[in-house]
Amino acid sequence: MGEIYELHPLLLEDVVNTAQRPKLEEFDNCQFIAMKMLHYNEKEEMVQAEQLSIVIGQDFVVTFQERPGDVFEPVRERIRKYKGRIRSVGNDYLAYALIDTVIDNYIYLIEHIGVKIEDLEEKILENPKPEILQQINTFKQEISFLGKVIRPVRELVSRLARTESDLLHRKTMPFIKDLYDLITHSTETIDTYREILSDYLNIYHTGLSNRINEVMKVLTIFAAIFIPLTFIAGIYGTNFDYIPELGFRYAYFIMWGVIVIVAIIMLLYFKRKKWF
């Protein structure tokens, strides 16, 4: 491919180096664009990325992908059915259409994950279980990965919109500038969902703390009730020979009556103070 299209050796090196950061490079006879194309693996429920390299020449557009499968079927459909202007304008518009499709797929993936993130709110409020915390952390990782992939594309599109290369016609520039709005919307949405996940994390920990506080409050109430009861039982469980009450016929029942009355009085007092 390098020989056929007279591609620079550094360009070919960038194509095979799939760890490239999204970037735009200009050569004498072409422009080189490297960016990430994303796919959502439904089976593993995670976003996967592969490098997409686009070479824009005077009368050609060449793309390189890491593996079969892509998001370009809408573009192919427009070409097959002569839809829109894609067959009647230059190859620079085709390159724009490819980049636009990749960015549209970014937005789709963000919204797809966003729906799942928003569904977590009700679960967190109802029952903050450890499984929810794991889901929050998983989504935080996904959103962080999307931000890492998509943010550099904004810089790439900005440079592409400002380029003075003859390979990009003036009529195509408004479309390329529109890409900047789309990618900016994507990054802002990512930031929004990152903040939402941080809020969810705070809500989870707050809910968990409230549940622990409720449990501790109940345990404290029972402990407070049993302290005086234990005191009463401790007095009459001593080994002194002379305890006057032990001589009463109904002393045992009187002690139980005192214990029950004290417990009831304390419960009513706690209730009146709205401690439970």
In-domain check, residue 168? yes
In-domain check, residue 222? no
In-domain check, residue 230? no
Same domain as 141, residue 77: yes
Same domain as 197, residue 151: yes
In-domain check, residue 90? yes
Q: What is the pLDDT of residues 238-272, one digit of tens each?
A: 766 667 776 777 777 888 888 888 888 888 887 88
Same domain as 141, residue 261: no
Extract the tokens encoding 5. 């299209």
Name the DSSP class of 51: E
Same domain as 256, residue 165: no
Same domain as 132, residue 251: no
In-domain check, residue 229? no
Give Rg (Cα) of the chain. 35
Same domain as 198, residue 247: no
Among the ranges 38-52, 96-110, 167-181, 241-255, which has the highest mean pLDDT value?
A: 96-110
How far apart, in whole angstroms, are the C-alpha atoms of residue 124 and residue 121? 5
Q: Which of 163, 192, 210 is the last residue of a domain?
A: 210
- Chain centroid to CA 139: 3
| C-alpha closest to that of 35 among 178, 157, 176 | 157
Same domain as 154, residue 24: yes
Q: Average pLDDT of 145-154? A: 92
Extract the tokens encoding 34. 């490297």
Q: Average pLDDT of 123-138? A: 84
Instruction: Report the chain's mean pLDDT, rounded to a whole number.
Output: 87
Domain around 98: 2-210
Q: What is the pLDDT of residues 2-23, one digit of tens each?
A: 999 889 999 999 999 988 889 9
Same domain as 192, residue 242: no
The CATH number for 36's domain is 3.30.460.20
Q: What is the pLDDT of residues 193-238, one digit of tens each?
A: 999 999 988 888 887 787 788 778 878 888 888 888 888 888 777 7
DSSP letter string, 252-263: HHHHHHHHHHHH
Extract the tokens encoding 74. 């809408």
Residue 66 sits at the vertex; the CA angle it makes with 63 and 70, to the nearest 5 degrees, is: 65
Same domain as 240, residue 105: no
CB 27 within 8 A of CB 62: no
Among the ranges 36-45, 128-137, 174-183, 200-209, which has the highest mean pLDDT value?
A: 174-183
Q: Residue 276: its pLDDT value, please?
A: 66
- The structural domain count of the chain equals 2
Q: Which residue has the tokens 């990749």?
A: 102
Coil, helix or strand at residue 182? helix
How far apart, in whole angstroms, are the C-alpha atoms of residue 276 and residue 263? 15
- Model confidence at 94, pLDDT cuts 50, 70, 90, reads very high
**pLDDT > 70? residue 58:** yes
Among the ranges 80-84, 106-110, 120-124, which has the highest mean pLDDT value?
A: 106-110
Same domain as 126, residue 29: yes
| C-alpha closest to that of 204 among 121, 144, 143, 116 | 121
Q: Average pLDDT of 95-121? A: 92
Same domain as 267, residue 184: no
